[in-house]
Structure 1
Amino acid sequence: MELQTQLKSLADKIHQLKDKIETEESTKHAFVLPFINTLGYDTFNPLEVVPEYVADIGIKKGEKVDYAIVQNGEPIMIIECKNWKENLSVHGSQLFRYFHVSKTRFALLTNGIQYQFFTDLDEKNKMDEKPFFEFDITNLKDSAINEVAKFHKSNFDINKILDNASSLKYIKEIRKQIDSEIDNPSPEFVRLFANKVYNGRLTEKVMDEFTELVQKAFGQLIGEKINERLHLALNKEVIIQEKDQIEESEISKVTTTDEELEAYRIIVAILRRKIPVHRIVHRDTQSYFGVLLDDNNRKPLCRLHLNGGKKYIGLFNENKNENRQLIESIDDIYNFEKELLDTVGLYECETN
């Protein structure tokens, strides 16, 4: 994902520069403006990203919010920035006032590292006290990246974001409650499980015992779940490595024919219209002559079966399943130009 790469690059930049950034203005230029840019907005276009956006409050004139992202002449999100060293929790009231007088449905409070997104779920045109979505760019989870993507210029849809904002808000609060209960189980939480497994009277002593038991049970359960996922991931990697080793072993036992190399040159001639030649790599095995994208055996472009009684070209669909097509000679490969180019397109889409 391009957005994921850009956000990671910005996070790396923050790690390198933050100790040298002293002011709020420097924070804006070094951290916040690049973030706005990753969302697809032109920070050099004052009709799209407006600095010092005027948000006059009643008789109090000259009030300005740091930035406003504008579409069709109307602000779709206002952004208030603080120095990266500052705690955002003490600055929400200022953004609250700006939100009230603007026509936007979204407000962003950030210090360039923490990002808090607000809207008006509780009362229309009045910014909620708590953000419906927040994240730390230096500790980004995949789920957070998916939510950030919804604010990208190419994806921005007010109604879709608002529909999702309510779920995000409550999921965040529920997670906090679960986390709190795991660390320090409340009597209600302990009683919920004790009633299901204990038939006696829940005296104070019994409740104390079950408080510790519930806490241990959740700790063990979470640990086991983590170990299961790690075990599955490691097993998957071992299988891939073993497959690679088997194929490499097969390669060492094969002899590549002139016909296979000539067929490879035909494939290169077709595919070079879409990708650079250096990305098209052949790998011969005992069973077939493979052509790969980026020398990655998980990105097969085609396979040639030329050493038997009949000749075949193996083409791949979106599920990477091989479909063999009979050919009379290697010149027939030209008949499958569209299929070969389409296969490249599938892998290019995976990386975007």
Structure 2
Amino acid sequence: MDFIYQIKELSVQISEQLEYVQNEEATKTALIIPFIRTLGYDDSNLREVMPEYTCDAPGKSGERVDYAIMKGGKPFMLVECKFAHDNLQDKHAAQLHKYFNSIPELKVGVLTNGVIYKFYTDLEHLHIMDKTPFLEINMLNVGNNLVKELKRFRKDSPFDKDEMKEAAEELDRSNKIKKNLGE
């Protein structure tokens, strides 16, 4: 099945489920796990999706991010989940920031409420998560150009750190231009 079609179907599913979501666990079950599956990952295979992944930071132990998407036995992407009806705020990003910075080889951190997905990396300072996302997607209104960007995170996409960094830099530049133009 075509990836664009899968994302559009997921968008419909999310809009239909949203009114029934009452807490963070329901958000994960009804909205976020289907997103992870759409990217091609098997959430029942712990070599691919590790729930409650430990991200010990200096001076703090037992810190856990909701999901770590694994490639080659190492975390490729962290996913921090919030309740579907919460507005994603800086305090939520700060929590992801702490997890992201505890794993030096990590390249992608995602903050989501199951509707909005904010993708972060370390463009400004190596191994330190940027304050602003390089990609933000609203699953209730997904354009084909954003679906193209999502393809980079699919399981079957070859992950190239340099290519990922270049794509993130390009999206970051594009976002800054749009902001300056007032779009």
TM-score by length of 2: 0.94
The residue that corresponds to 1:113 in the other structure is 115
Rounded to whole Å, the distance in 1 between the matches of 2:42 and 2:65 is 18
Structure 2: distance between partners of 1:37 and 1:159:
25
Amino acid at match of 1:8: K
> 3-state DSSP class of the match of 1:66?
strand
Q: Distance in 2 between matches of 1:2 and 1:134?
A: 22
How far does residue 6 in structure 1 lie from its aligned partner after superposition? 1.3
The separation in 1 between residues aligned to 2:65 and 2:182, in whole angstroms, is 35
Post-superposition Cα deviations, 1:207-233, rounded to whole Å, max 9, x if no partner, equal: xxxxxxxxxxxxxxxxxxxxxxxxxxx
Q: 1:166 — aligned with what?
A: 169
User: What is the CA distance between 1:89 and its match in structure 2?
Assistant: 2.1
The reply to whether residue 9 of structure 1 matches residue 9 of structure 2 is: yes
- One-letter amino acid matched to 2:57: I
Corresponding residue for residue 130 of structure 2 = 128
Q: Which runs of 5+ in 2 are unaligned?
A: none
CA RMSD of aligned residues (A): 1.2
Q: Larger Rg: 1 or 2?
A: 1
**Moved runs in structure 1, 4+ residues, more than 4 A?**
none
Gap regions ≥5 residues in structure 1? 181-352
Aligned to 1:97: 98
Indicate the structure with greater helix content. 1
Displacement of 1:156? 3.5
Alignment of 1:198-347 (within 5 A): none
2:171 is matched by which residue type in structure 1? L
* Count of aligned positions: 180
Report deviation, 1:44: 0.8
**1:85 deviation in Å?**
0.7
- One-letter amino acid of the structure 1 residue matched with residue 59 of structure 2: I
3-state SS of paired residue (2:51): strand
Per the alignment, residue 154 of structure 1 pairs with 156
CA distance in 2, matches of 1:4, 1:137: 12
Letter of the 2:177 counterpart: I
Taking the aligned partners of 2:156 and 2:108, their CA distance within structure 1 comes to 17
- State the match for 1:213 in structure 2: none
Q: Deviations over 1:90-114 (max 9, x none)?
A: 3110000001101311101111000
Q: Distance in 2 between matches of 1:58 and 1:160?
A: 30
